[in-house]
Amino acid sequence: MDDVIEKPGSSKKQLTRLKNRLTEVTSAWTIDDYRAFIAFYSQILPELMHVERCTIYIIEQESNKICSMFGTGLEEQQIEPPIEGSIVGQVIKSGMSRIENQLSEHTGFHSDIEALTGFVSYNMICAPIKSITGTRVTGAIQLLNKHGKQDFLAEDLNRLEEIAHYLSISVESVLVNQEIITIASSLGEEVERLGRDTVSGITVIAESEAMREVLDLVRVVSSSPVNVLIQGENGTGKELIARMIHERGDRKDQPFVPVNCACVPENLVESEFFGHEKGAFTGADKARRGLFEEAGGGSLFLDEIGEMPLIIQPKFLRAIQEGEGSRLGSNNIINYDLRLISASNRDLAAEIKNGRFREDLFFRLFSVEIVLPPLRERKADILPLAQHFLQMTNQRFSKHVAGFSTEIIELFESYSWPGNVRQLLKEIERLVALTDDGQIITAERSSRELLSFFDKRRRRRRETDLHDLALPARTKRLEVELIKQALQRTKGNKTKAAELLTITRQGLLKKLKRYQLDN
């Protein structure tokens, strides 16, 4: 069951439908109309509010940078006021409106902009643009210089806040639209990736870098006719990778013939692989093609090649090297046209040293080696695999187990999984069977292997916690953390850091030396 690192192809269909729907919504929203509406605000507000200039700002949520979206007289420039040191930044940060009627008496970012644009500001009113839900600030609207050099009044502020509320709908639409475009794009990449990693209508789950590298190598070797050896522990997915290599190559329309060498009795190996003629041995009542013939034009997958008996290995060597062989009971030469893909959970180099595998066969067996990492080395795949197996097992068992507890997720990701993906699937099946519908899976229902690991882990934690109760150790950790935070806030200024910590500068220097933080 090496093919358990897979999930139904329906996942690709679901993602494709979602991506198409998002694309439809995005195109229907006509973002240019929203931008034009916001631009109209910036043009009409100076006349409506009897001011000289209006600027509308939006904060980029990812970078936390404030940018002027539209503004009077800013056709060729963009203004980026800082969060700290500008009135706009303070309004966005606090979510509170502000009136400033004596700008000439203060220095700040507005002074820098005057030098840049040549426009002199003597008073200002600024209101935050809040999200529709009111949970965050998405930007700000700023008016400059009331006509007649009059002061801005509270009623001006109330009116601007009302305008900002209606403006927030358009601003939010622009931001949401941009997010949807990003999501649709990423889903497009995901759909494309799923298409690349699909085999026989089944998609390989590979989120870890290690498995992504394996799949990249698979894509490279699939397009060439070279023989391949797949190395990996039991349960890592060797047969699935072999099928992927076959289905991506030019032999994809021809047979893929898998055989587990460990399951073929030694006395039947030659007949199984090379076939026999009628009467070749007792019980051979009719002629039979061997696996090499059955795979003609396609691929022969030899799983657990290291289990092949020494006695048959010379004939295998000839079949691979010369591309020919003969059935038992016949001298007729049969030409083989196939691609050989082998797999082993053994170290074949070590088997050669121990005299259990022929060195000449080893070097003719493959040109490219692919090593599948064990599950313990691809931690990023554990949770996606577990979630998929939960969904798959719920369907097979006609159950509705809700999900995993945080504790068991941590357990899954810290366990070594000696049986790899196969063991994880078995564990999920057990947990689903023992968990009631609507409930989440907890660690207490795990198998004996996981429970033993879980108990040892909890004992180690308790011992660590008891040790951590020692006051000197805790005091040291607390002081170190507070000192680091103080130095970070003051950008390394020890005098200011000491003030924050309410200790003397000399006292801080002593602690830095004691805790070796002065390097």
Kindly tell me if the per-residue pLDDT of 145 is higher than 80.
yes
Q: Which residues contact 229 (CB under 8 A, 6 or more apart)?
A: 305, 342, 343, 344, 348, 365, 366, 368, 369, 370
Q: Which residues contact 275 (CB under 8 A, 6 or more apart)?
A: 287, 288, 289, 290, 292, 293, 327, 328
Tokens 């690349």 belong to 196
In 72-184, beta strands by DSSP E: 98-100, 124-130, 137-146
Distance CA 251, CA 268 (A): 28
**What are the structural domains of the chain?**
28-182 (3.30.450.40), 205-373 (3.40.50.300), 376-468 (1.10.8.60), 471-514 (1.10.10)
pLDDT per residue over 335-350, tens digit each?
Answer: 999 999 999 999 998 9
Distance CA 280, CA 415 (A): 53
Kindly tell me if the per-residue pLDDT of 469 is higher than 70.
no
Ramachandran region, residue 118 (left: φ > 0; alpha: ψ -120 to 50; beta: rest): left
Distance CA 426, CA 443 (A): 15
Report the b/e string of 48-86 with b at 16+ CB within 10 A.
Answer: ebebbbbbbbbbeeeeeebebbbbbebeeeebebeeeeb
Q: Is the pTM of this model over 0.95?
A: no
Phi, psi dihedral angles at 8 (to 5 degrees)? -60, 150
Kindly tell me if the per-residue pLDDT of 93 is higher than 90.
no
Q: How confident is the model at residue 357 (pLDDT cuts 50, 70, 90)?
A: very high
pLDDT per residue over 30-73, tens digit each?
Answer: 455 556 777 777 888 888 889 988 888 888 766 777 877 677 76
Cα-Cα end-to-end distance for the chain? 55
CA angle 146, 85, 98 (to 5 degrees): 35
Average pLDDT for residues 160-182, to the nearest whole number?
Answer: 73
Token pair for 226: 């070279």
Average pLDDT in the chain: 82
Question: Distance between alpha carbon 298 and the CA centroid of its chain, in Å?
Answer: 35
Token pair for 303: 């799983």
Highest mean pLDDT among 14-28, 74-88, 106-120, 496-510: 496-510
Name the burial class of residue 285, with classes exposed (0-12), middle (13-18) and buried (19+) by CB atoms within 10 angstroms of its CB.
Answer: exposed
Predicted local distance difference test score (pLDDT) of residue 9: 46
